[in-house]
Chains A and B, each alone.
Chain A
């Protein structure tokens, strides 16, 4: 489609320090306008394209909160930018990952939300997603519950519920489904933002793409998604994945945002076990490397920092290792069958399970589950070999028969 263009306005990271050097914006918006919009958005994170839904031409954009402040500031270029994504006469949805009260309070500190009077074609939906220290505490409580060795079922269920971890999973999945529904079912464009646009925003946009786009469910597609929507988009990995659940020092900016996203992918994977090219181990591997890694991929908070640290020169990329055939074979899902569907997960509590592979990994033996996975792989592999054999035999027979016919003539 040629309604979009690549803009290098940020190539020195001067317009938005947390964005990558190249972003995708509507064709009709020039770089000058972008600079103005950047002044109107928190941290300079002006709306950029996150995902384009080929099926119906709808777009999903993401940004940070608009700096309307208490005076109700407006920015015509910002309005023009997001309106450019709308088809004539159609409406768009702004999905704000803060509750309405928080969004309103943000005005006192210079932030705010898109006001209907300036954005009449956009309908705003608030879909609250937890963040920061509450998420980190939730994480710590869950890990603590899993380590509880007392044989008390009520205590376990009580602690599990009190951690609220699965609640966050449900809420994020619901928000992603909402965004995906707006695009696929309502046929509308969507703008997603929270406050900074570096956490819940990215969770929603990347998860929505898992739902909408089968390519994101392939191994390379998922890697590209992580690179695009998390690394390049400026999720502050260094701050968020500093210490994990056992740290005693409560770091202010620490939160398992990326892990929550990975787990939601796993929950969808559980419900659609044939729709993902990668297996659970792949997701667990990414979780590990986000926190501690011999590769430089997840270091730093954004592309700007990575460039300054000269990471491409001084470190190796995780992807170069993962994508080697001998490594990749460990991460493949034997049940995968490519399909072009939009997949809608169920968010009923009964459909969501604790991610044992991460949270109970060291608390129970994995031998029997690994044997089961081996069986699955063997069953499918053997059938593929049989099929190949049958095909080959057929070909041989066909060749011999034609050979015979020629002889007889």
Chain B
């Protein structure tokens, strides 16, 4: 469609006219008016709503809201075109059947073996092994291999060795959706365990011996502490209301040596509404400081983020300081439970702050344990009341931690944003469906690709240059006073480039890191050449880099680095291009360097 304008948030009339293209997977807007051709790509799956706005003098406006918070305001010249685009986008953005999702048609140039290897990259068993499991107290059981215990759990789960099959089955009949207590994370240092489940079907007075035995088994697996916590992440009122429906929460009188606690994180409907209000505040055209802060406060968004963070901190503290095992649940144990268990693991164990570890964490606590990505992210045309930014909140908690502890994550904010994008993009199979069983039925592992190898390939741009390494920080103890939480402009106003710092520190540092490698290679190469020139005929494969270093031992005097240092600066995003005139040298074999070295030298 030609004669289309893309307006920025200030709706300036000076917007140039471009062309809108619709492909099977994307909407692409091309603005070829300026010297540099500018393309804006929007994935259909990312579109959450399309609206026709009232007619203006400029034309027929179309407002597109995306799940990654991109807001695109198009003005289309012809009414017919506008209507066509509108109806097409409605259909394209709301697929009905899973087979229509991008992942099933996405076909990068990759061999079959590589695709399969990609799926095997993350092996949860290895993570359990890392924790020392199986051990005397805990085992990985395949009791759920045919989903007899719980249809939304993975085939292999970790339970106390002392829990017999009868206990497991009995407990599964007493837990909502059969989601029995299973191990999430074992803190090797003191044997305290983080476990998760769903609400018990206790009603007002029901009991279940097997469920009580299950909790006892968990508690006794940690002899270092006489009691265990049972944490219900719901507000007390909601949990009590559930009792009327035959569900509810654990009665401290019935379960030996438990300490019960409500944490009070609100439900998915409250969170959906909170995000909506936050986005409204972010979209305000030219708000005053008061307008924005009031909007932020009224959304309650940061209040909820703090609630999730506080819960994670409580769990981590219980495990670390009180050496107590903790059993966490909400209603169904796949939303708030997933958030707080994964957050607590991140706080306790530096492994989960590495690239690999974070992928493992998501695969374990979210994907394997049955968080309903398909429903929560609205992948298919379904019940809008099931949609809720549960995973988004978790990602934000991680980002908040990065602000407080800038050197403790191997990856940067960009890694988080990429994952978040792909949770909604349906380009990869990891987040499709609602649980492992469904993914097997959809044959995800045969027909689609895993996200993780693609992200690992891009480590260099997704890494955190300030990362101090695995052993630098053990447990993280964040401050959760309200002022510790910042507004994440990079997520909720991500595409409003004007709002972000004009010079990007991350880019500067990343380019330093890559330059470092180049310079180190160059220095080695030059060092190796030096002794060769200094003396009679050299022999092949002789001088070690050490000798070269000795020859050039004088400390470098203060330099007038005419050949230039780091990035060229511009009043805009710095791309870190090198000023060096020669191309970076590749490390060469010692044998070859003689001839090449001479020729290369100007």
Contacts and interface: CB of A to CB of B under 8 A. Distances in A.
Interface of A: 145-146, 149, 151-158, 160-161, 164, 166-167, 169-170, 270-275, 335, 337, 339, 341, 343, 346, 348-354, 356, 360, 363-365, 368-369, 371-372, 375-376, 379-380, 382-394, 396-398, 400-401, 404
B261 interface: no
A350 B468 contact: no
Interface in B60-84: none
A372 B407 contact: yes
B481 A272 contact: no
A152 B302 CA distance: 10
Given A387-B519, A390-B526, A149 B503 contact: no
A350 B508 contact: no
A170 B286 CA distance: 12
Contact of B482 (A152, A273, A356): A152
Interface string B278-293: 0000100001111111
Given A376-B466, A394-B526, A387 B565 contact: yes
22 contacts: A153-B300, A153-B485, A154-B303, A161-B293, A272-B503, A274-B503, A352-B289, A372-B406, A375-B406, A382-B516, A383-B566, A387-B519, A387-B559, A388-B557, A390-B519, A392-B552, A392-B554, A393-B552, A394-B526, A397-B530, A398-B601, A400-B530
Contact of B509 (A275, A343, A376): A376
A273 B505 contact: yes
B376 interface: no
A386 B516 CA distance: 7
A349 B293 contact: yes
Nearest to A275: B503
A256 B533 CA distance: 66
Contact of A272 (B407, B498, B502): B502
B481 A160 contact: no
A120 to B, nearest CB: 31
B333 interface: no
B45 to A, nearest CB: 27
B489 interface: yes
A313 B119 CA distance: 77
B574 interface: yes
Give the top 6 A-B pairs by smallest Cβ distance, nearest first.
A156-B482, A349-B292, A372-B406, A393-B526, A157-B297, A161-B293
B363 interface: no
A339 B499 CA distance: 22
A151 B310 contact: yes
A349 B288 contact: yes
Interface string B458-490: 000000011010000000000111111111010
B534 A368 contact: no
Given A153-B306, A383-B516, A384-B559, 4 more contacts: A154-B297, A349-B289, A351-B489, A375-B468
Nearest to B572: A341
Given A154-B300, A351-B499, A397-B533, A170 B289 contact: yes
Given A161-B290, A271-B502, A383-B565, A375 B407 contact: yes
Interface string B526-564: 110110011000000000000000001010110101010
A350 B282 contact: yes
Contacts of A154: 297, 300, 303
B565 A384 contact: yes
A392 B566 CA distance: 17
Contacts of B289: 161, 164, 166-167, 169-170, 349, 352
Contacts of A397: 526, 529-530, 533, 601
B501 A157 contact: no
A146 B480 CA distance: 13
B513 to A, nearest CB: 7
Interface residues of B, number: 73
Interface in B281-322: 282, 287-294, 296-297, 300, 302-303, 306, 310
B51 interface: no
Given A161-B297, A350-B493, A388-B561, A153 B406 contact: no
A160 B293 CA distance: 8
B571 interface: yes
Contacts of B590: none
B559 A166 contact: no
A379 B483 contact: no
Nearest to A274: B503
A406 to B, nearest CB: 13
Contacts of A343: 502, 571
Contacts of B294: 161
Contacts of B554: 392
Given A146-B483, A348-B499, A390 B522 contact: yes
Nearest to A364: B479
Contacts of B114: none
Contacts, number: 196
B481 A149 contact: yes
B505 A335 contact: yes
A295 to B, nearest CB: 31
Interface string B372-410: 000000000000000000000000000000001111100
B571 A341 contact: yes
A16 B256 CA distance: 84
Given A396-B552, A400-B530, A391 B559 contact: yes
A354 B485 CA distance: 11
A157 B293 CA distance: 7
Contacts of B601: 397-398, 401
A368 B406 CA distance: 7
A148 to B, nearest CB: 8
Nearest to B488: A350
A337 B576 CA distance: 12
B297 A158 contact: yes
A384 B523 CA distance: 13
Contacts of B17: none
A256 to B, nearest CB: 17
Nearest to A149: B481
Interface in B506-520: 508-509, 512-513, 515-516, 519-520
Interface in B4-35: none
B569 interface: yes
Contacts of B290: 161, 164, 167
A334 to B, nearest CB: 10
Contacts of B534: 400
B558 to A, nearest CB: 8
Contacts of A369: 406
Given A272-B501, A396-B552, A397-B526, A151 B481 contact: yes
Question: Considering residues B465, B481, B523, which has the most beta carbons from chain A within 10 angstroms of its beta carbon?
Answer: B481
Contacts of A351: 489, 499-500
B496 interface: yes
A188 B493 CA distance: 35
A153 B407 contact: no
B293 A383 contact: no
A350 B496 contact: yes
A273 B501 contact: yes
A62 B300 CA distance: 45
Nearest to B567: A337
Contacts of B300: 153-154
A394 B585 CA distance: 13
Contacts of B500: 346, 351
B561 A346 contact: no
Contacts of A392: 552, 554, 556-557, 559
Given A375-B407, A386-B519, A364 B565 contact: no
Given A151-B310, A353-B486, A396 B530 contact: yes
A167 B559 CA distance: 46
A129 to B, nearest CB: 14
B513 A379 contact: yes
Contact of B407 (A152, A155, A167, A368): A368
A376 B513 CA distance: 11
Contact of A368 (B404, B513, B530): B404
B396 to A, nearest CB: 14
